[in-house]
Structure 1
Amino acid sequence: MSGSNIAVFSGSSNRTIANEICQELGIAPGKINLRKFSDGEIAVKIEENVRGRDVFVIQSTSAPANDNLMELLLIMDALRRASAKSISVVVPYYGYGRQDRKAEPRVPISARVVADLIETLGPTRVIVMDLHADQIQGFFKVPVDNLHFNPVLVEYILSKKFDDLVIVSPDSGGAERARSFGKKVNATLAIIDKRRPKANVSEVMNVIGEIEGKNCILLDDMIDTAGTICKAADALLKNGAKSVYCAATHGVLSGEAIDRLNSTPFTEVVLSNTIEIPESKKITKLKTLSVAPLFAAAIQRISTNQSVSDLFI
């Protein structure tokens, strides 16, 4: 995109994917200085002219979520005050996305609060990937493009040439996602049904569907502490699964997640790179697939007023 009037700036949360996106677009990352004062306050300075330019800001609001969110807001404000023509926000992983409704009395809807904060800084549009809850798109008044990991993951799974493949949802809530994905890779569907028989008794994981002697892929939108996904894998193996893989868009990997994944006999754990995974967490069975080409395609189409609809398939 040489000679284009766009600029891409990155926060500090995921510079790897930002650099890959810029490589796909054929442009250099925007020059920005990010630092912290001794008291922890974040300082931002845009170090090139953005007046009249269409600017894209890339920042996952992953851990440390509060710092990364604040940094994003300050970058947006700096660009707005520097007279950028438009500011599009690219948030590969939308932090606070699981707090999308009032699950109990007297609690906030934090996903809406984050949307309000971002919208206060005047973005033209927001680009995300696999929101935990689709209704978060409605928390914004500006357009929200919710891209999906599926196209990249489908290509990878088909390249493995599995026989007797089953896509497994770790809970009933993800059944439709698993069913839709299964159709794309010629697989059948199974669901893990978690039930607590009675009070003070451990949860029992029942497998709904035929998985004996088959290759199973547990599909979810994210892996956080990995407790549920590892218990689901154990249940599949106890019920005769030939092999168990795990695939998720967002690798939050908090708490004891890495130890749990290591001790569970997954053949492979497949994640996207929406969250930058530190070297200390890159275990042997972990496979990372880049979604930078998808984001780059969205940016290119938006900047040239083309449709992005087929990127959602």
Structure 2
Amino acid sequence: MLLFVSYHSCKLIHLALVGSLSRLDVFSSIGRALSMRVPSLLPIPAFILATLRPREPQTDLPLHSPLMNTGVCNGDIMILAGNSHPALAQLIAERLDRKLVEIQIGKFANKETQLEIMHSLRDRDVYILQTGGIMDVNNSIMELLVMAYACKTSSARNIIGVIPYLPYSKQSKMRKRGCIVSKLLAKMMCKAGLTHIITMDLHQKEIQGFFDCPVDNLRASPFLLNYIVEQIPDYRNSVIVAKDPASCKRATSYAERLRVGIAVIHGEAKTRFDDDYEDADEDGDDGRTSPPPLPARQQGRLHSSVSMSSFMERSEPGAEPGPVTAAAAAAAALRRGRPRLRSAASVCFGEVDPSRIMSVGVTGVPMQAAKEKPPISVVGDVGGRIAIMVDDMIDDVRSFVAAAEMLKERGAYKIYVMATHGLLSADAPRLIEESAIDEVVVTNTVPHDVQKIHCHKIKTVDVSILLSEAIRRLHNKESLSYLFRNITMED
């Protein structure tokens, strides 16, 4: 009998050591076993048995108690993910040792976005992982806005949007009669409830000013530089190439870190969707006939009155206007009993001589001559070297393909293309496969698994560790300056 009690006592103590039972539960079980098996040998008083009774299950546990493990997360951080990039969201959640919150997001029959969150978000820090998709970017934006507003109405404490690639970042400048769409998107995100934004390599750094909340613009350049050092043999014999003059700052930053040379491709023809493309209205009403032209006699009289108003004055109420000297004008003003008004130029430099005013010989606003780009050329030596073109995104690859052909003609024996966001829209995989480009290296901020199937030259660098570290530091209220060490605005 004693062996039976000893066996069960050892088993219960083992469970207490591994954490399955509490010490009070172990002692209570041992006491009940002793009272039932050997009452004559070990009589246990009733007050001790009452003390060793098992506790009643507690129903009002605190919200953040470790016993409240729902299988989603163990702390007050909740991670939601949309349908734009589930693979990246899973990588970030695994690095943070958390599980994604279960949500149901879909569409009605009329394509409206529907969302239901399966867990409470009250007083939690919520991180929404959503990037700009390639196939349906507008649907990705709507999912992000709906998720943010759902978290806001669920009384979440903080709502942080983790958006590796910010959609519409290319439309950050005014063009003709269009609008700055990235400004509109920033207002919509803030109104939806986002209190913080974590993104990566904005197309224009000034986009941060469009948001009414803090924006952390991470950089992927350390990952790309590390790929160059580790994966490109003889990278010391390379040259960093800017495919257009606008990319010179980024190329210079890469070249200084790698301690290699730089080359610039000049004369590339710009397309309608490039940032520095500007031209006048080709057709339509440009305002040349508004208002209607005046008759020749009135037009000449108006021109003479405007151009010579400072130097012509009526001397008598019925006299014809004509040129007068400064002394005569002053005398006429005194005769009429009003003080003479003098311009700022006449006060500072004396009287203005009409002969010093020059005319350009036109009656309207002069038209600017159209820009004519010189023939495409490479500024710098690329002969016998590895050419590495760097940019922030690769969308339409035709400019990269044309630049690669020029570099190949100038003697570059290997050509790489490095970028953060690999959008690779339309027939980009086919053009890359048929071009002189040897390898295209992009990060996984945007999903491009389908493009990699059609083109074996596309390589991917994982940046989930940078995003997860930014989330961890932000949640623990730590500084993010470590993530920006030796990072300049040109990266």
Q: TM-score range by the shorter chain?
A: over 0.9
CA distance in 2, matches of 1:250, 1:203: 30
Matched, 1:295 2:367: no
Higher strand share: 1
Cα distance change of structure 1 residues 269 and 52 upon mapping to structure 2, 3 Å threshold: same
Aligned to 2:246: 173
When normalised by structure 1's length, the TM-score is 0.94
Matched, 1:304 2:476: yes
CA distance in 2, matches of 1:223, 1:123: 28
CA distance in 1, matches of 2:394, 2:439: 14
Aligned-pair CA distance for 1:61: 2.1
270-279 vs 70-79, which moves further: 270-279
Aligned to 1:226: 397
Aligned to 2:230: 159
Aligned to 2:416: 245
- Paired AA for residue 135 in structure 1: E
Aligned to 2:300: none
Aligned to 1:60: 131
Task: Give secondary structure in 1 for the equivalent of 2:123.
Answer: coil
Aligned to 1:141: 212
Q: Is the 8 A contact 2:236 2:260 kept in 1?
A: no
Matched, 1:124 2:195: yes
Note the residue ranges of structure 2 that are not aligned, 5 or more in a row.
Answer: 1-72, 270-368
Aligned-pair CA distance for 1:203: 7.7
Aligned-pair CA distance for 1:75: 0.4
Aligned-pair CA distance for 1:155: 1.1
Aligned to 1:274: 445
- Paired AA for residue 39 in structure 1: N
Residues 27-79 of structure 1 deviation map (CA, whole Å, 9 limit, x = unaligned): 11121111111111111111112111101101112331111101100000111
Aligned to 1:284: 456
Q: Is the 8 A contact 1:92 1:127 kept in 2?
A: yes
Aligned-pair CA distance for 1:195: 4.5
User: 5 Å matches for 1:187-198?
Assistant: 187-195=260-268
Aligned-pair CA distance for 1:279: 2.6
Q: Is the 8 A contact 2:424 2:451 kept in 1?
A: no
CA distance in 2, matches of 1:278, 1:35: 22
Alpha-carbon RMSD across the aligned residues, in angstroms, is 1.9
Task: Give secondary structure in 1 for the equivalent of 2:376.
Answer: strand
Residue identity over aligned pairs, in percent, reads: 34
Aligned to 2:142: 70
177-186 vs 217-226, which moves further: 177-186
Q: Is the 8 A contact 2:196 2:213 kept in 1?
A: yes
Matched, 1:48 2:119: yes
CA distance in 1, matches of 2:147, 2:434: 41
CA distance in 2, matches of 1:205, 1:125: 43
Note the residue ranges of structure 1 that are not aligned, 5 or more in a row.
Answer: none
- Paired AA for residue 467 in structure 2: F
Aligned to 2:434: 263
Matched, 1:91 2:163: yes
CA distance in 2, matches of 1:280, 1:120: 35
CA distance in 1, matches of 2:117, 2:379: 54
Larger radius of gyration: 2
Q: Is the 8 A contact 1:62 1:94 kept in 2?
A: no
CA distance in 2, matches of 1:109, 1:157: 36
Aligned length: 310
Aligned to 1:212: 383
